[in-house]
Structure 1
């Protein structure tokens, strides 16, 4: 081999040696990286092994390597609305949440290593017992700290009754006191007593008793229920049976509803199927339905009860006073408490006695509505007259309506003064409707009010007027209460 050839061979082998050296360097680097990974795994393994196999570890102050500091660690609040403070510091970003809807938190979290004040606002505890909530500091999707919050309660007693109205005779009533502490009950008047006069935590049935009212007017008393620093009032009224005749009149008949358990011999019940008149939905009956009566005398009142029977039918009462004889002219008065609820249609009214419906049908025979009201228009009472010439089918009836605050749920007096020449109705002594024969006409079609009429008390459900805005059966059962009905005539 000559010298030139040798130089050529050396030039051809030098690149191969360099490639081999590069490969050795890469292999050494891979081994180094692998060693580093193995070392890291050895370092991490003890940390992973510290976690429970089931993944359900209880939250702790440093769970998941997040260290949290909270002050205070327990919160307590009085019963009133209040805002408390929590100071939170953590070595990771965090959020704060509560498990109670009566607790609100602001802000809703914080950032790593920054002390944050959380405003904890609690609503008033209107309940009867202490209540608790958990406030959780959350990081990485896990609760890492829990603060217990306790809110106390107000000592109080609650009565199931807010008022009573008794008839004039000796009367009793009952109600229940529910309390979370000791309580007392005191009457403002000697004629009204209660038993027991004190009690403790839980439910206690209380009996209230009113002595007979022999006075000339309604009397009132207050029961005061006290518990801790709170108190409430139960208002009690007792009506009088004192009869006050209008000037120039004398009492000729009355029913004070103080005796017996059902209306007496002067009353006649109607027994009609639903839809018999005015498309009303109730069935009128004097029979006992599911152990209940549609009319009953209780605690000095006539109760006309409307309720739904087990058969799905609505039952109620309609009674007529001396329908065969009635009265011609006079001052007729009743004290009545109306029920409430969409669908009610209570009435106090009069129809003529012994009508020949063939020759003298309605409205030719005449009708006097002393008081009507429908629950869809609460506390709006009206009076109307219907005759052949003036009646609601023609829209010509003589009528007037007025607002009577508390007609539903309170006793008010409704009256009619009827003479040969005029008819006037009253609500608590105030004129409601006044018409005269002179303005309506003296013929029978205009003024059929020249023979005896009898009073009617009834409680309808639904129908053309009572149901004109629909009915709400959730209002049932309902009761129309009548304290008395009296008829006066000039002597």
Structure 2
């Protein structure tokens, strides 16, 4: 079992990587995706390795979180409309025991890396990496046409190659599909470019504005994703090589709120519903004892 390591904060690779929505979940999941409905939760014997309960007001803990701002100047993937700010309370802060990632309608022309965006938000990367384990995030999603919050993870590396190195989307939500949570993985063989990505669309009536827990169980043999203590998606390691299963290296967690884009903004962005707040009550990572 790999212990926590200090991640390499992704450099130029992340600036050009087509990130979460490269994995455009608007493409229907492959028919052989395995949809399940089984008990989930912390596996027996696992212990808490790292967490953030967001109990210290102010900016997110700099010992635990970094900011991804690298693509601000030339623009983010998927035609997303936001500028991701660095340590700016208007866009990321802890208050009342919650992390708030807030998207606002505003220009930051005074910032040297401003790329002409008319919206601001934040994108946080965990400074703790992990390989395998159970990850649980309790969150409240914003409502509004154009919202695109995500809880997901990527390999911790300086040389990320998408989709070959893999992406695990624990939770994605878009305002135009207001009753659906997307669980998805992407690999060299299974991705939306090839129309082969693996995922499940979970029907969740009126999910925005409600508190739910979103989870990932990641082992050498399978990935399970779920909501509120039940698993709805299972992706099995075929043991046929990296093309099908690149998930054998440390990853880091990503929390972000995108504005619009080819997926999130599929039917437009409603400015009248802003600002949007993506609220996170806690992040907890469990692993087997070493």
Bin of the TM-score, shorter chain as denominator length: 0.7 to 0.9
Following superposition, the deviation at residue 260 of structure 1 comes to 3.1
Partner of 2:29 in structure 1?
A: none
Following superposition, the deviation at residue 307 of structure 1 comes to 0.2
SS in 2 for 1:409: coil
Distance 1:310 1:435 in 2: 41
After TM superposition, the score normalised by the length of structure 1 is 0.47
Deviations 1:143-196 (A, max 9, x none): xxxxxxxxxxxxxxxxxxxxxxxxxxxxxxxxxxxxxxxxxxxxxxxxxxxxxx
Q: Is the 8 A contact 2:57 2:97 kept in 1?
A: no
Write out the 4+ residue segments of structure 1 that deviate beyond 3 Å after TM superposition: none
Q: Is the 8 A contact 1:245 1:251 kept in 2?
A: no
Q: Is the 8 A contact 1:384 1:397 kept in 2?
A: yes
Distance 1:318 1:383 in 2: 19
Distance 1:417 1:340 in 2: 27
The counterpart of 1:349, out of the listed 152, 155, 160, is 152
Partner of 1:485 in structure 2?
A: 283
Unpaired segments ≥5 residues, structure 2: 1-40, 109-116
The counterpart of 2:165, out of the listed 360, 365, 371, is 365
Unpaired segments ≥5 residues, structure 1: 1-243
Number of aligned residue pairs: 238
Partner of 2:247 in structure 1?
A: 449
- Normalized per residue, which structure has more strand? 1
Following superposition, the deviation at residue 435 of structure 1 comes to 1.1
Partner of 1:469 in structure 2?
A: 267
Distance 1:429 1:472 in 2: 33
Whether 2:118 is the aligned partner of 1:313: answer: yes
Output aligned runs, 1:85-96, within 5 Å: none
Distance 1:407 1:333 in 2: 17
Deviations 1:61-100 (A, max 9, x none): xxxxxxxxxxxxxxxxxxxxxxxxxxxxxxxxxxxxxxxx
- Normalized per residue, which structure has more helix? 1
Whether 2:204 is the aligned partner of 1:404: answer: yes
Following superposition, the deviation at residue 341 of structure 1 comes to 0.6
Output aligned runs, 1:239-258, within 5 Å: 245-258=42-55
The counterpart of 1:331, out of the listed 93, 111, 134, is 134
> Cα–Cα, structure 1 residues 310 and 282, in superposed 2: closer, same or farther, change >3 Å?
closer
SS in 2 for 1:376: helix
Q: Considering only aligned residues, what root-mean-square deviation do their CA atoms show, in Å?
A: 1.6
Distance 2:92 2:231 in 1: 30
Following superposition, the deviation at residue 286 of structure 1 comes to 1.7
Q: Is the 8 A contact 2:60 2:92 kept in 1?
A: yes
Following superposition, the deviation at residue 287 of structure 1 comes to 4.6
Distance 1:350 1:286 in 2: 20
Distance 1:442 1:454 in 2: 24
Following superposition, the deviation at residue 463 of structure 1 comes to 0.7
Q: Is the 8 A contact 2:107 2:120 kept in 1?
A: no
The counterpart of 2:184, out of the listed 373, 384, 388, is 384
Q: Is the 8 A contact 2:57 2:96 kept in 1?
A: no
SS in 1 for 2:78: coil
Partner of 1:458 in structure 2?
A: 256
After TM superposition, the score normalised by the length of structure 2 is 0.79
Distance 2:75 2:240 in 1: 34
Output aligned runs, 1:250-329, within 5 Å: 250-264=47-61, 265-271=63-69, 272-273=71-72, 275-288=75-88, 293-309=90-106, 313-322=118-127, 326-329=129-132
Distance 1:450 1:280 in 2: 30
Partner of 2:216 in structure 1?
A: 416
